[in-house]
Amino acid sequence: MEHSGSGDKWRLLLAQLREQRRGLAAGVAVGLAWTLGKIAIPQLTRLAIDQGIVEDGAVWAWAGLIALAGVVIGVFAGARRYLAFSQSRLTEMVVRERLFSHVLSLHIGYHDRSQTGQLMSRASSDLNQLQAFVVMIPLTISNVALIGGVVVVLFVMDPLLALVALAPLPFVNITARRFSQTIHPAVMAVQAEQAQLATVVEETVGGIRVVKGFGAEPVQAAKLRAEADDIQRVSMDAARVRARYLPAIDLLPSLGLIAVLGVGGHRVLNGEMSVGELVAFNTYVALLVWPLRTIGMTIAFAQRAAVAMERVHEVLGTVPEIVDPPHPRSLPTDGRLGAVRFEHVRFGYGAGIGVLDDFDLDVPPGSSVALVGATGSGKSTVARLLLRFYDVDAGAVTLDGVDVRDLPVTELRRAVGVVFEDTLLFLDTVAANIAFAYPDADAAVIERAARLAGAHEFIEAMPDGYDTVIGERGFSLSGGQRQRIAIARAIVADPRVLVLDDATSAVDPSKEHEIRAAMETVMQGRTTIVIAHRAGTIAIADQVALLDEGRVAAVGTHHELLASNERYREVLAAMSVAEGTGDREAVG
């Protein structure tokens, strides 16, 4: 996996916070107004005691001012919290959208190696940790301002007593730093284990039919139990760290309050200080307790956010290998379109895993070719290279004379339609699944595609026709129905080139002729690459290319190769045995 730049995990967050500087500044401004109100109340209390009680003055007037200040503080406190949460949720939303967009831009090779649960964890729990940190920014700044303001007032009121009250602060700082250093690896371990748990859950739910089919519920339950136990273990490690440091961070500020009561009480008795001044001083020291206690919470949030940003940056810092060229070309729009050419292509999946070597194939526009070969011969790889899921190691793949690497990726994939072996349908209506890549397609286009794919009749028989909602992954439909909807989905795109990647492998042999009939209709006049294991499907192509040892070993019609090529007969016989069809035509 390749990562970009120096890997500064905070760069994305800082850039986003700069974009939100107005909202954050508003939150900070409201927080500072709240701070001024908090600092004013002890002074009003001092005056109420010294002038309203001791000197028998207007107590009710002072009480009214204190009440008014309390109302103002309450309003600013609510506004401060609202602005803090609105900005934190905005950050979470924007980063989540960027993460999702970046995941979609990453090459297929990245997704082949990545665990879905890990990606889901980064897009959910890790971003929640990030949001929890951002919400603390305006709150923490106002708390720091409160600490600074209180410290200044304390020293103005009584420098000696201020020193007594603030003596524990250096110890709070030391304890907080040690807590920060110790909690980071513990939090990292918790979030890593949560991602592992998400992976087990995702694989179990996604593969529930396999789990139930093999009666493997106890196996998956044991995996989940092991991951849950790991989460409990590392969470308790983190809890022990918090239990060791947070009580000290909570206690130390209170020691200053106790010292002020002792020293200040003696000064009042000696006449060196008024009762109102002592009460105000104690109130100020009490104001410090909560902001100082939140240091530990703020550090914990910051550490979780640091871990979350590190994990999110692992994805965002991955450089997509398949990107648009710096100077893209466009496909021609006149003449016969859909010419595909593989020129001396060499490709392998990583070091030492060669698949194609000096692979040459020419597919004229409007013609069809079936790719046949033993398992692992590179048939599906040919389709992946045409779609630019991967780039060739050497040679070139061209579409209508243009190297696919010179085309914008979106334009290329709009020009090449594909029906995969494993059809994935989405939890949506039949019409929405057919118009998946073109959600604005009108009903007539959707119905025409369904008719060409041989799907219109069974769709009309559904409870709500084209508005029927398909269950998740389309498992409520038969294999043949799913494939016909997938073919209709490819037709809506009206591609120059159609790739049928083993489109009949998941279909019952007794129903295969229905899919073949739909495929033949769609293939008429359209460049088509057919990847198939069944002789009946192979025979519908104009030409057959036999792949062997990474290159094209023979080209001809199905019947010509059956009659003249021993290797072709061996491959078909092996595929027939693997399929269990006993297809006599496969072996001639």
Report whether pLDDT(1) > 50: no
Percent of the chain clearing pLDDT 70 (strictly above): 89
Question: Token pair for residue 320?
Answer: 């997509």
pLDDT digit string (tens) for 270-279?
Answer: 888 888 888 8
Give this prediction's pTM: 0.69
The identity of residue 535, as a single letter, is A
Containing domain of residue 156, as a range? 11-316
53 lies in the same domain as 116:
yes
Q: Which residues contact residue 140 at a Cβ distance below 8 angstroms, ignoring those fewer than 6 apart? A: 294, 298
pLDDT digit string (tens) for 417-434?
Answer: 888 777 778 878 889 988
Closest C-alpha to 44, from 30, 24, 65: 65
The answer to whether position 541 is within a domain reads: yes
299 lies in the same domain as 347:
no
351 lies in the same domain as 284:
no
Handedness of CA 360, 366, 370, 371 (dihedral sign): positive
244-267: b (≥16 Cβ within 10 Å) or e: ebbebbbebbbebbebbeebbeeb
111 lies in the same domain as 37:
yes
The answer to whether position 459 is within a domain reads: yes
278 lies in the same domain as 424:
no
Separation CA 414–CA 545 (nearest Å): 25
Per the model's pLDDT, the better-predicted residue between 121 and 401 turns out to be: 401
311 lies in the same domain as 344:
no
Report whether pLDDT(220) > 60: yes
Residue 345: pLDDT band by 50, 70, 90 thresholds?
Answer: very high
152 lies in the same domain as 220:
yes
Separation CA 538–CA 528 (nearest Å): 12
The answer to whether position 331 is within a domain reads: no
Question: Token pair for residue 541?
Answer: 């192509």
- CA torsion, ordered 539, 543, 548, 550, to nearest 10 deg: -130
272 lies in the same domain as 404:
no
503 lies in the same domain as 552:
yes
Answer for the pair 49, 108: CB distance below 8 angstroms, yes or no.
no
What is 208-275 written as a DSSP string? HHHHHHTT-HHHHHHHHHHHHHHHHHHHHHHHHHHHHHHHHHHHHHHHHHHHHHHHHHHHHHTTSS-H
User: Of 316, 351, 380, which residue sits at a domain end?
Assistant: 316
Question: Token pair for residue 360?
Answer: 């040459």
The answer to whether position 41 is within a domain reads: yes
The answer to whether position 4 is within a domain reads: no
pLDDT digit string (tens) for 197-213?
Answer: 877 887 787 677 667 66
**What's the pLDDT score for residue 580?**
55
Q: Tokens 């001083």 belong to which residue? A: 281
Separation CA 482–CA 455 (nearest Å): 9
Separation CA 507–CA 516 (nearest Å): 11
Report whether pLDDT(222) > 70: yes
Closest C-alpha to 550, from 356, 353, 392, 397: 356
Question: Token pair for residue 169?
Answer: 């602060």
What is 179-195 written as a DSSP string? HHHHHHHHHHHHHHHHH
The answer to whether position 428 is within a domain reads: yes
The answer to whether position 254 is within a domain reads: yes
CA distances 273 to 46, 58, 129, 266, 379, Å, are 12, 22, 48, 9, 92
Under DSSP, the state recorded for 122 is I
**What's the pLDDT score for residue 396?**
94
Separation CA 114–CA 116 (nearest Å): 6
Lateral strand order in the sheet of 416-419 = 416-419, 497-501, 527-531, 368-373, 543-548, 551-556
Answer for the pair 260, 158: CB distance below 8 angstroms, yes or no.
no
**What's the pLDDT score for residue 213?**
66
- Counting the structural domains of the chain, the total is 2
CATH number at residue 568: 3.40.50.300
**What's the pLDDT score for residue 57?**
61
211 lies in the same domain as 261:
yes
- CA torsion, ordered 361, 363, 364, 369, to nearest 10 deg: 140
Answer for the pair 339, 364: CB distance below 8 angstroms, yes or no.
yes
Angle (CA) 80 84 89, round 5° = 150
394 lies in the same domain as 300:
no
Separation CA 217–CA 129 (nearest Å): 32
Separation CA 371–CA 81 (nearest Å): 63
pLDDT digit string (tens) for 89-129?
Answer: 888 888 888 888 888 888 787 777 777 767 777 777 788 88
Residue 475: pLDDT band by 50, 70, 90 thresholds?
Answer: low
Residue 399: pLDDT band by 50, 70, 90 thresholds?
Answer: very high
Separation CA 555–CA 548 (nearest Å): 12
pLDDT digit string (tens) for 498-546?
Answer: 888 876 655 555 556 666 777 777 777 889 898 877 777 788 888 999 9
Mean pLDDT of 359-374: 90
**What's the pLDDT score for residue 395?**
92
The identity of residue 488, as a single letter, is A
The answer to whether position 324 is within a domain reads: no
CATH number at residue 153: 1.20.1560.10
202 lies in the same domain as 123:
yes
